[in-house]
Structure 1
Amino acid sequence: MSLLKLTEFKIASLIKFGLFVILLLGGYACSSESEEPAPEPDVIAPTVNFAIAGANSSPSESTPVFSNQITIEINAQDAGGVAKVEAFINDQKVGEDTTAPFQITVDLSGYTSKMPSSGKFQDYTLKIVATDTSGNQSSTEQVINIDNELPSISNVSLQNGAIINGDTNAVTFEVSDNEALSTIQVFLNNELFQEFSDGVFEFNINTLELSEGENSFRIEAVDLANNTANFDVAFISDNTGPEIIVSNLIDGQIIDESFNLSPQVQDEFSEVVAFTALLNGDTILESTTDQIGEVLIDPEELAVGEASFELVASDALGNETTMNLTNQVLRRLFKVQMENGFFESTWFSFHILISEMDGSFIMLKSAKITDNELVLHAPAEFPLDKEYMVSFIGEENQGSWIETHMTVVQNLTRSNFTEINFSAPFGESMTQQTIPMSGFFGVENVIGRGHGFQSTHDSNLESFSLESYEGSGYNPYNGYYLTGYNMGEDPSFYGYLKIDNPLSPDFVINRSDFSFDNINQGSTSFSGNGLATYNHTLNIWGFENAADVGNRNSHLIYDSNYTFNPVGTDNYYYPTVFEAYQHHFRLNNYNTYRDGLPAAEYLLPNWTIDHTQSGNEVSITKSGLGHTVGRLMVEIGNETNGSQLMPILFASSQEGPVYLPILPEELSNLNVYPIFQNQTYSVEYSELISFDTITTYEDYLDNVISSYKEHTEVAPIMESMTNRNAFIFNNWSFKYQ
């Protein structure tokens, strides 16, 4: 308790308690006489010394020179503890530290290095002051010089961004300083590359030891004050020639079609200054820039065999790139495209036989079941206008016998026939339904038939069997038209009924549901042809709309086999509910398929054709004008493999005989091989054919053969004349399952 407070307490106690004053004063006197004496004050200053990091620790008579920054390491000691240390330059405070170990960093960049009048260093006094916790201070000082001028690096011979190559690239430079230099070094890609101890500042860059592209070097100069100057140069190392890109030609590629060779040349770092393309040693393309241009490569101008291309490009540094391509020039015959599904699971094989026009062998190509495309090349030189024949041969397992599908096309050249596109066979599945019938009489006939369905009824007209097809080449019907004959209804004996697809489970074909409305009668005459005019056939198909025409969703609405007509005339019936019609008219050996309803009159073309066969040679005699295509239908079956027909198609303008192909020994496993070897085949009929929109054999090859079409699919009017009254078959048995 302080004396002041104790005195105040005594006075207050004396006023309140009177007699106790003396006692309290007595007690106070005793207490004061027993306290400890006060400690001696701290008057001893701390000890202090310092060192500047990086300075020479050896004694020297010269004043130390420092650069633009120093770090002062201070050793200050005191028994009572050091409160702080301070740094002063010329008595101006420049730093302070309050925590041991003491260290002060001072920025000297703002101080003048030399006196302008004399050019000598300006002296500065660096003083360090240490203060202990009692405020005692001690100090120590040192005179220093400050050098803030960096070394100068100049006249570097390699400029930033320069592109160099090779193993010799000399780089020179100059270095100077206001005082003296300590070290001069060059770093290449941040690694020490060379040190210099004399006044010759030159080094060499070997770019062959560097990575392509961007590299760099740095010149570093350090003076005695540790001022450091750097000079950085980024440069490009380019020892690679220009890149040559050819997008449509690779090494080993077969050259069988014309194409434009249009190389692209690019250099990542340098400028393209030269390009040359040579073919078999002859220059075909040149340029002095990266804009190369193009040149047409026509294999017809080259000999069959090896073709060597050499492409050479150079850049401004002399780097060169050479591309060598060795290719084969072949004579392309044609390309075969095979849609997925073309090869049926029941097929054994598919072969393409190329023969001379006399039937002798040229080459054979066999397809694998996984093939979608084949390109056939002649085995040797083959002129563009040289004619040949092709046989497409497929073998199929029909269970109890092997069927050979075979179609032969003649008068082909490399100019008029370039490809064929095989589609998947019609149909993948068949649905059969049996439908009850009611109310019919025994003399009546009910039929239903179209591209995607057919039907029959039993002899008692009590049940109706409907078969519909689905899959490739077929499109769903929304219903099926049935036609009835000898129905006995007024105004005609002809009626029709459309049934739904799909049918309801309890559906019954009732006679009373047939319609006799919207029926027209037409008539066609063919009595002026001077033939036995009773032997004719007329079929009419209806299409409900344009989409059905495109999808070939036809409905047979008239069949002359179910009617009776006077000689030379056919009075036919047809419902008017259809948007489009197509018909087939046959009179003896004349056939025509046409769009629309039957013509009012048919005048047969004045064509005749006949043939005689001797072995594989068939002599043709023909007359008349206007036909385009000839066809032989050849029987190649036997007792064990059933009746099989092989169509041979040829240009009807051809003079001379038609030859059947001779099968090579490679096809000896074919079921029909013995028949061809023994020449036991026979021509069933010969035929002349025309189309109103196909007037040349070249057009025929393009629209029928290349497109894999039948004669009934390609023109509004098709006409044919055979050598005898014969049923007309299709060209492609491959198309039908």
Structure 2
Amino acid sequence: MLSKKKHFKTIYYLLILILLQCCSSDDSNNLVEKDTTPPSINSFTINNVSGNNINTPILISTTLELDIDITDDLGVTTIEIFIDAIKVANNTTPPFNFSIDVSQYNSGNHSVRIKAYDAAGNFSSTKDIAIIIDNTLPAITNVSIRNESILAGNINILSFKVSDDKDISSVAISVDNVTIATITDKNYNVNIATSNLNDGRHNIEIIASDSNNKIAKLTISFIADNTGPKITIDAINEGETISEIIQFEPKLSDEFSEINSLEVLYRNERIHFFENGAITAFSFNPDDYTSGDGRFTFIAKDALDNVSELSINTKTTQVLIRLKIPQDYLSTNIMKSWVFASKSDGSPISIVKIESGMTDIVLYATEKIDDSENFMITFYEIENSGFNRISTIQNLTITSPGTLHLAPRNTFSEESETSYTMNGFSANDIVKSQGVDYKGIKANDRFKLTLMRPQKTNQIYFYTYDNNAPETSYRYQFLNRPIGNSFALNSTAFGDQNVVLNNFVLQSYFPEVDLQPILSIFGYTNQNDYSNNVYHELFNSALTSKNTDINSSISYPLHTTFETYKHRLVSKDYITERKGIPLTNYSKPNWDIDYDTSSGNTIKIVTSGTTHSVGRLWLKNEYSIEPYYDYSWTLVYDSQKNKSEVIIPKFPDELSDLNFYKFSLDLFWQTEQLELSRYQNISNYNDYVNKVLKNNVNYDKVSDFVESLYHVPDFRKYPVFLKDVFN
């Protein structure tokens, strides 16, 4: 006996079940009640004659055969057949095929109608279809090949029955009006071979004759299809070199049959297989295979097992780096230009000659390299004078940067040069004018001003100071453009309004012993100008302290009306460039950097420190040998990886006919400058490659300052603010 608790649970679950059934029933009823769309009679045949081709009454002997294709959104419930408006047959389940004996009907004209119903009681109907019943004719029925069938190959058995009230004397079967068989033994089986037929529509005709010379004809239209699907591949072309992941989107089409499968082979090994016509896009990564020749084979099969095949011969290789070349990269003073890749030991990998009009260059690997393996690229050009200018970027990988955008060579061109009169300036007065699109210098007693295009500034900044006391004698003049030809620079027009005297301390600077630090200050009228590097030079001069003690304060002038500033401080072994006005105190990084020796293609160095990320080496012959042997070579490298040596890449054999190639084989490379740098917001060398080098971005787009420690062999020379490509 059930407990009360169990009894309650039983009743509860029964109620839930009843409720669910009611809801389900209600939903179903609602769908039926809302259905107002009648079934759609898509197509039908009467004794193998398509409903679309009935133009005259259909001649029928003793059997009426119908094949009907019909659809409905909720399902077809009943199909009814009417002869002379009287229902003679019905069917409630597909397939909706009928074979109706009409031998009891009088010979003559009759009509047939098809009517279809759905669950909601909606119905559709054909018009009355005219037929002629002639019971004296032979009846051809139970035909195995239906109208509009698709046939393939050489084995397609056509079977049928022939009946008549008299004896059948002969049955002839023809294909496209060519007799292929005559049957007199009542074995009504004939093979329809299609391999010799053109793909497309054809007709089978069965002609039955009885002993009274009554003749019945039945025509069956069929499609011969002995051709596999058409395969279209747009992703690659014959003979193409594949160096990156490509996306295949195979397109298969078949005029007559459904697509069954697609098999994809590479180098005779299956890489993809698609069944049941479900063909999707797929990717191919050449890095998964060894470099070299390869063949893609696409094998498609249709529902009739017709097969087609498409082969595409290709070559796979690995991309080291892609280069985006600006249109003006080859300036008029360049005779020849190349770019080549080298392994980390300096041995060549590949080389491309840069020709006029090139915008994209790809350097390939000759053998597979790992993602972490380092290589270097070198830009080499010979100027018209014969001078050799070279730049190398080291410690790259196939993913970092992947693509390198080179900077335009000449962003500005000279528009005009005008010489102006100068009045009231002494021999010790320095007069300067420098901006992003203009520059001026004092030439004897006149001032020569050059304007550049495109114009970026609306004003021109002039400043002057006494060379013996630049910090206290600074004055300026800020003029709107354009400046007329009658303009003259008058000393009395220069003023010091909004100029203040500031101070900074450079740690370890020893006045009257060390080289005087050089301070440059740049002004920007607004933040947008700073973002686009539209600057005016406000000050540039060597400075010293009035006090001879080490770490003494150094004074400088500052024009305070500009919205944003940048400055650069250069000393004997230290450079820093920063956003904003000069700091009050500069401390050099606690790093060591020194040149050791040069042997072959190896420069031995001594470095220490963990906070620098970028190293630079500048090689340059101090004294000219001959124009074709003079060189300037800058190398950028990972300063944490290359702490004890920098490898100089060897020139590829493709350049062996050049004078400098032979000269470089035994050359003792002369070091002009060695540098270690760190940047704000750039944590390591790989960061620098991808944030700065990759897209040719000025470092100040991602960092507010850079500071560098230098080794310069000649202590009397200031270090140079090196560029990464072609200093």
Answer yes or no: same fold by TM over 0.5.
yes
Partner of 2:80: none
The answer on 1:446 being equivalent to 2:438 is: no
Partner of 1:635: 620
AA aligned to 1:292 is I
The answer on 1:464 being equivalent to 2:452 is: no
The answer on 1:707 being equivalent to 2:695 is: yes
- SS of 2:310's equivalent? strand
Contact 1:353 1:364 in 2 (8 A): yes
Alignment of 1:31-430 (within 5 A): 155-171=142-158, 192-194=177-179, 205-214=192-201, 233-259=220-246, 263-293=250-280, 297-397=284-384, 401-427=385-411, 429-430=413-414
Q: 1:278–1:120: structure 2 CA closer, same or farther, 3 Å change rule?
A: closer
Identity %: 25
AA aligned to 1:549 is Y
Alpha-carbon distance in structure 1 between the residues aligned to 2:630 and 2:705: 30
Partner of 1:15: none
Alpha-carbon distance in structure 1 between the residues aligned to 2:596 and 2:545: 37
- SS of 1:456's equivalent? strand
- SS of 1:703's equivalent? helix
Contact 1:613 1:683 in 2 (8 A): no
Contact 1:167 1:208 in 2 (8 A): yes
Q: 1:502–1:202: structure 2 CA closer, same or farther, 3 Å change rule?
A: farther
Aligned-residue offset at 1:375: 1.9
Alignment of 1:334-733 (within 5 A): 334-397=321-384, 401-427=385-411, 429-437=413-421, 439-442=423-426, 443-460=428-445, 463-470=446-453, 476-486=456-466, 493-514=473-494, 516-527=496-507, 535-561=516-542, 568-616=552-600, 617-636=602-621, 638-641=624-627, 644-653=631-640, 654-708=642-696, 715-724=703-712, 726-732=718-724
AA aligned to 2:452 is Y
Alpha-carbon distance in structure 2 between the residues aligned to 1:727 and 1:265: 66
AA aligned to 2:649 is P
- SS of 2:586's equivalent? coil
Q: For structure 1, which segment, 493-502 or 557-566, has the greater mean C-alpha deviation from structure 2 after superposition?
A: 557-566
- SS of 1:672's equivalent? helix
Aligned-residue offset at 1:513: 4.5
Alpha-carbon distance in structure 2 between the residues aligned to 1:542 and 1:455: 17
Aligned-residue offset at 1:173: 6.0
Contact 2:531 2:701 in 1 (8 A): no
Alpha-carbon distance in structure 2 between the residues aligned to 1:198 and 1:729: 102
AA aligned to 1:429 is S
Alpha-carbon distance in structure 1 between the residues aligned to 2:507 and 2:705: 21
Partner of 2:81: none
Q: TM-score, normalised by structure 2?
A: 0.69
Q: 1:520–1:172: structure 2 CA closer, same or farther, 3 Å change rule?
A: farther
Q: 1:377–1:197: structure 2 CA closer, same or farther, 3 Å change rule?
A: closer
Deviations 1:458-500 (A, max 9, x none): 332xx32122333xxx663323222233599xx9743333334
AA aligned to 2:393 is V
Aligned-residue offset at 1:565: 6.2
- SS of 1:548's equivalent? helix
- SS of 2:689's equivalent? helix
Alpha-carbon distance in structure 1 between the residues aligned to 2:107 and 2:425: 140
Partner of 2:120: none
Alpha-carbon distance in structure 2 between the residues aligned to 1:170 and 1:647: 82
Q: For structure 1, which segment, 718-727 or 641-650, has the greater mean C-alpha deviation from structure 2 after superposition?
A: 641-650
Q: 1:549–1:426: structure 2 CA closer, same or farther, 3 Å change rule?
A: farther
Structure 2 unaligned runs (5+)? 1-55, 58-103, 109-130
Aligned-residue offset at 1:628: 0.8
Contact 2:634 2:726 in 1 (8 A): no
- SS of 2:387's equivalent? strand
Contact 1:606 1:624 in 2 (8 A): yes
Alpha-carbon distance in structure 1 between the residues aligned to 2:107 and 2:272: 73
Contact 1:546 1:580 in 2 (8 A): yes
Q: 1:230–1:624: structure 2 CA closer, same or farther, 3 Å change rule?
A: same
Alpha-carbon distance in structure 1 between the residues aligned to 2:282 and 2:317: 19
Aligned-residue offset at 1:590: 0.3
Deviations 1:83-124 (A, max 9, x none): xxxxxxxxxxxxxxxxxxxxxxxxxxxxxxxxxx99899xxx
Contact 1:527 1:569 in 2 (8 A): no
Alpha-carbon distance in structure 1 between the residues aligned to 2:264 and 2:604: 54
Partner of 1:36: none
Q: 1:182–1:221: structure 2 CA closer, same or farther, 3 Å change rule?
A: same
Q: TM-score, normalised by structure 1?
A: 0.68
Q: 1:235–1:428: structure 2 CA closer, same or farther, 3 Å change rule?
A: farther
Structure with higher Rg: it is 1
Contact 1:630 1:687 in 2 (8 A): yes
Contact 2:351 2:363 in 1 (8 A): no
Alpha-carbon distance in structure 1 between the residues aligned to 2:467 and 2:667: 52
Q: For structure 1, which segment, 690-699 or 241-250, has the greater mean C-alpha deviation from structure 2 after superposition?
A: 241-250
Contact 1:487 1:495 in 2 (8 A): no
Contact 2:171 2:183 in 1 (8 A): no
Q: 1:475–1:320: structure 2 CA closer, same or farther, 3 Å change rule?
A: farther
Q: 1:403–1:634: structure 2 CA closer, same or farther, 3 Å change rule?
A: same
Contact 1:256 1:332 in 2 (8 A): yes
Partner of 1:32: none
- SS of 1:560's equivalent? strand
Contact 1:355 1:661 in 2 (8 A): yes
Q: 1:665–1:156: structure 2 CA closer, same or farther, 3 Å change rule?
A: closer
Contact 2:616 2:674 in 1 (8 A): yes
Structure 1 unaligned runs (5+)? 1-66, 69-116, 122-146
- SS of 1:159's equivalent? coil
Alpha-carbon distance in structure 2 between the residues aligned to 1:296 and 1:198: 58
Aligned-residue offset at 1:679: 0.6
Alpha-carbon distance in structure 2 between the residues aligned to 1:269 and 1:476: 66
Alpha-carbon distance in structure 2 between the residues aligned to 1:579 and 1:294: 55
Alpha-carbon distance in structure 1 between the residues aligned to 2:204 and 2:499: 99
Contact 2:570 2:719 in 1 (8 A): no
Alpha-carbon distance in structure 2 between the residues aligned to 1:604 and 1:615: 31
Partner of 1:130: none
- SS of 1:318's equivalent? coil
Alpha-carbon distance in structure 2 between the residues aligned to 1:672 and 1:679: 10
Aligned-residue offset at 1:320: 1.5
Q: 1:645–1:195: structure 2 CA closer, same or farther, 3 Å change rule?
A: closer
